[in-house]
């Protein structure tokens, strides 16, 4: 049964509609404990990371980047705790980031001793700005850094054969790199790792800073998807940030362009404007009838934990998670919502005006939807009285009460609670 219709239809049988679509959930990778963490004013403690990791596992994430153990003692200790306290389910990969330097790669492997499944993620920046202004290397030098570190990873993994290793390479600043050069570097890395011979390899394409419209990023991803060697043996991953406010859209278009995997964080915490938001991306699929394979019915818990640990509040209009996103104050919206809800039977396709999804699916209640201020009409006021106090009013009284409530709201300039409407109904409005 499909609760949500995938797309509006059009009457043009000769046209492929929509031109592209996402058919199934990508593999998600949660990077809250690494990219999210490195952007926090107060980075997470081991105890906080454990709680966050547990939630990510319970929600259904199977790939979780847990830290940067060669750069942080807390992250190193957290890796050891995950492994020594046996906190990682058998079907979950823990992932760690390392810079492309031999001593750091060795320390990274040390932090993962005894892991069942682990992803070692190495990166170096490939864009002209980084090559010319930060590292002072030419293209060959930049490629050589990637190749050398791929060799160190391959050789270190061979010394710890009891772990099921995945290797991940990110050409950092991919979206600002000449795409043909990025492909050259990726091919060179894959010649070391040889995914065609059974090594699990992830090629992660970051929009480290979002520099273009999402379609341009998707075109870059498509070029990689169509041109790298060993494509069928490699997972293509994308890692978008939100500098232009389009991190989710860029990831979605990238999946339509061939990406298999998407990295992001719950509610979008991350460097600068944040990482791509896993909640929005997952729920966008859900709202079009595609199972995101992540449990978002625990939205309140997700929000509470993320807010507590990141010390960042959720915007009240954050898609799906904000306090106000299932709220209507305006009279005409309230009226349309009430009519649709009255007609909705569980099992039907969800068709409720102004509510793209059923708040119940996120553990929220219809009671939050209709709220009263000076923009509201008689229908809303009557609805609140009936909903909260079981009192249904005749039409003439609805009108009279609504006028009084509206006057209160105009005088106060804010919201009028159900209690106050009830008090007004109980008589004190007669004295106005
Ligand atoms: O944004 C970025 O480029 C990163 C890489 C390390 C993957 O976080
Ligand atoms: Zn990042």
Report the first-to-last Cα separation within the chain, whole angstroms.
Answer: 53
Whether 84 has a pLDDT exceeding 80, the answer reads: yes
Q: Which two tokens mark 25?
A: 């959930």
Q: Quick one: average pLDDT of 142-147?
A: 98
Question: Measured from the CA of 31, which atom of ligand 1 is nearest?
Answer: 8
Query: Is 86 marked within a binding site?
Result: no
> Nearest residue CA, atom 8 of ligand 1?
35
C-alpha to C-alpha distance for 202 and 408, rounded to whole angstroms? 60
Q: Write out pLDDT tens, residues 362-380.
A: 999 887 889 999 999 999 9
Distances (CA, A) of 166 to 59, 189, 191, 231: 22, 14, 15, 16
Distances (CA, A) of 347 to 17, 77, 229, 359: 26, 48, 47, 15
Question: Measured from the CA of 271, which atom of ligand 1 is nearest?
Answer: 1
Whether 432 has a pLDDT exceeding 50, the answer reads: no
In this prediction, residue 233 carries a pLDDT of: 98
User: What is the average pLDDT value for the chain, to the nearest integer?
Assistant: 96
In this prediction, residue 132 carries a pLDDT of: 98
Q: Quick one: average pLDDT of 246-266?
A: 98
Q: Write out pLDDT tens, residues 304-360.
A: 999 999 999 999 999 999 999 999 999 999 999 989 999 999 999 999 999 999 999
Contact 389, 355 (CB under 8 A): no
| Ligand 1 proximity of 208 Cβ (cutoff 6 Å) | yes
Q: Write out pLDDT tens, residues 12-55.
A: 889 999 999 999 999 999 999 999 999 999 999 999 999 999 99
Whether 385 has a pLDDT exceeding 70, the answer reads: yes
| Ligand 1 proximity of 68 Cβ (cutoff 6 Å) | no
Q: Which two tokens mark 100?
A: 């492309």
User: What's the CA dihedral at 73, 74, 80, 84 to 10 degrees?
Assistant: 140
Whether 428 has a pLDDT exceeding 90, the answer reads: no
| Ligand 1 proximity of 195 Cβ (cutoff 6 Å) | no
In this prediction, residue 430 carries a pLDDT of: 54
| Ligand 1 proximity of 53 Cβ (cutoff 6 Å) | no
C-alpha to C-alpha distance for 52 and 318, rounded to whole angstroms? 20
Ligand 1 mean position, distance from CA 195 (Å): 22
C-alpha to C-alpha distance for 136 and 128, rounded to whole angstroms? 10
Whether 223 has a pLDDT exceeding 80, the answer reads: yes
Ligand 2 mean position, distance from CA 196 (Å): 28
Cα four-point dihedral sign 304, 307, 311, 312:
negative
Question: Measured from the CA of 123, which atom of ligand 1 is nearest?
Answer: 6
Whether 243 has a pLDDT exceeding 60, the answer reads: yes
| Ligand 1 proximity of 206 Cβ (cutoff 6 Å) | yes
Whether 110 has a pLDDT exceeding 90, the answer reads: yes
In this prediction, residue 13 carries a pLDDT of: 85
Query: Is 315 marked within a binding site?
Result: no
Whether 431 has a pLDDT exceeding 90, the answer reads: no
Tell me the Cα Rg of the chain.
Answer: 26
In the structure, ligand 2 is a single-atom ion and the residues with CB under 5 Å from it are 35
Burial of 95 (0-12, 13-18, 19+ CB in 10 A): buried
Q: Quick one: average pLDDT of 150-174?
A: 98
């Amino acid at each position: 049964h499909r609760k949500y219709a995938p797309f509006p239809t059009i009457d043009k049988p000769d046209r492929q509609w929509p031109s592209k679509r996402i058919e199934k959930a990508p593999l998600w990778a949660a990077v809250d404990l690494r990219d999210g963490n490195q952007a926090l004013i107060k980075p997470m403690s081991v105890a906080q990371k454990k709680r966050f990791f547990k939630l990510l596992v319970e929600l259904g994430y199977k790939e979780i980047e847990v830290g940067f153990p060669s750069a942080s003692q807390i992250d190193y200790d957290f890796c050891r705790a995950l492994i020594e306290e046996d906190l990682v389910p058998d079907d979950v990969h823990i992932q760690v980031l390392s810079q492309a330097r031999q001593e750091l790669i060795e320390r990274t492997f040390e932090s993962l001793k005894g892991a069942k499944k682990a992803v070692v993620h190495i990166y170096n920046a490939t864009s002209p700005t980084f090559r010319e202004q930060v590292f002072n290397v030419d293209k060959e030098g930049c490629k050589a850094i990637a190749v050398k570190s791929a060799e160190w990873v391959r050789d270190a993994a061979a010394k710890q054969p009891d772990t099921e290793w995945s290797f991940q390479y990110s050409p950092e600043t991919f979206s600002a790199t000449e795409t043909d050069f990025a492909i050259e570097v990726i091919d060179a890395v894959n010649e070391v790792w040889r995914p065609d011979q059974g090594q699990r390899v992830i090629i992660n394409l970051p929009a480290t800073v979002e520099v273009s419209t999402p379609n341009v990023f998707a075109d870059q991803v498509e070029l990689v998807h169509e041109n790298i060697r060993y494509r069928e043996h490699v997972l293509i991953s994308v890692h978008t940030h939100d500098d232009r406010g389009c991190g989710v859209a860029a990831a979605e278009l990238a999946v339509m362009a061939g990406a298999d995997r998407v990295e992001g964080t719950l509610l979008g915490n991350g460097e600068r404007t944040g990482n791509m938001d896993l909640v929005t991306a997952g729920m966008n699929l859900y709202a079009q009838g595609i199972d995101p394979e992540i449990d978002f019915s625990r939205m309140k818990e997700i929000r509470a934990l993320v807010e507590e640990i990141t010390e960042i509040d959720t915007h009240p209009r954050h898609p799906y998670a904000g306090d106000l996103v299932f709220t209507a104050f305006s009279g005409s919206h309230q009226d349309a919502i009430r009519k649709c809800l009255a007609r909705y039977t569980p099992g039907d396709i969800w068709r409720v005006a102004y509510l793209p999804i059923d708040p119940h699916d996120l553990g929220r209640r219809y009671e939050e939807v209709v709220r009263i201020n000076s923009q509201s009409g008689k229908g809303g006021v009557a609805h609140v009285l009936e909903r909260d106090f079981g009192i249904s009013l005749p039409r003439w009284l609805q009108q009279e009460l609504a006028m009084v409530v509206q006057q209160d709201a105009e005088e106060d300039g804010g919201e009028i609670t159900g209690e106050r409407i009830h008090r007004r109904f109980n008589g004190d409005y007669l004295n106005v």
